Amino acid sequence: MTARAAPRRIAILGAESTGKSTLADALARRYGTLWVPEYLREFVDVHGRVPHEDDQPGIARTQLAREDAMAARPDARAFLFCDTTPLMTAVYSRIYWGRVPPALLALEAAHDYALTLVAAPDLPWVPDGLMRDSDEVRQRVHAQLVAVLAERGIPYVLVEGELEERVARVEVLLDTF
């Protein structure tokens, strides 16, 4: 009996209200596989507040643990679409507190995905309660994310436009894997 190959993890990063979850869900359906929802949304719902600085490493660890659990499932096929990663959590730490806790820096440094996608902030900004600040903050987060990726030498693909355009762009990339 041969072991099942682990799915290739695809990171989907981006600022708030850029369509990451919608894209992850659409790609998972297109490829008949799973996607890992952003744990931060659940954190905010459960705690009724946005995270504090000392919550950030735990949020990132939980996100990774959920990735690992989903990757181990038999219905995780060739790809596993990850709606955010610890790198994105670290970007938010930089934006809100001007620093990244050492434990989170280590998780950020472990960014190891087959492909990193960045959702462009070109969709209409939609507030959704506690998690969404403003389009101005969204633009700052996007700029910080792109700067961190460049600084760390992590290649990425910017996905723009409506959902259909984004899915088509990613399909072209994934069909070459």
Q: pLDDT per residue over 157-169, tens digit each?
A: 999 999 999 999 9
Q: Which helix (H) or strand (E) holds 12?
A: strand 8-13
The whole-angstrom separation of Cα 97 and Cα 51 is: 11
Share of the chain above pLDDT 70, in %: 95
> The dihedral of CA 31, 83, 45, 61: what is its sign?
positive
Q: Which residues contact 73 (CB under 8 A, 6 or more apart)?
A: 34
Residue that wins the pLDDT comparison between 125 and 32: 32
Q: What does CATH list as the number for 8-174?
A: 3.40.50.300
Does position 151 have pLDDT exceeding 70, yes or no?
Answer: yes
Query: Does the pLDDT at position 131 exceed 60?
Result: no
DSSP letter for each residue of 101-165 = -HHHHHHHHT---SEEEEE-S-SPP---GGG---HHHHHHHHHHHHHHHHHHT---EEE-SSHHH
Mean residue pLDDT of the chain comes to 93
As beta bridge partners, residue 85 has none
How confident is the model at residue 132, as a pLDDT? 59
At residue 135, does pLDDT exceed 90?
Answer: no
Dihedral of CA 16/164/113/153: which sign?
A: negative
Instruction: Domain ranges for the chain, please list them.
Output: 8-174
User: What are the tens digits of pLDDT across the range 74-129?
Assistant: 999 999 999 999 999 999 999 999 999 999 999 999 889 999 999 999 998 887 76
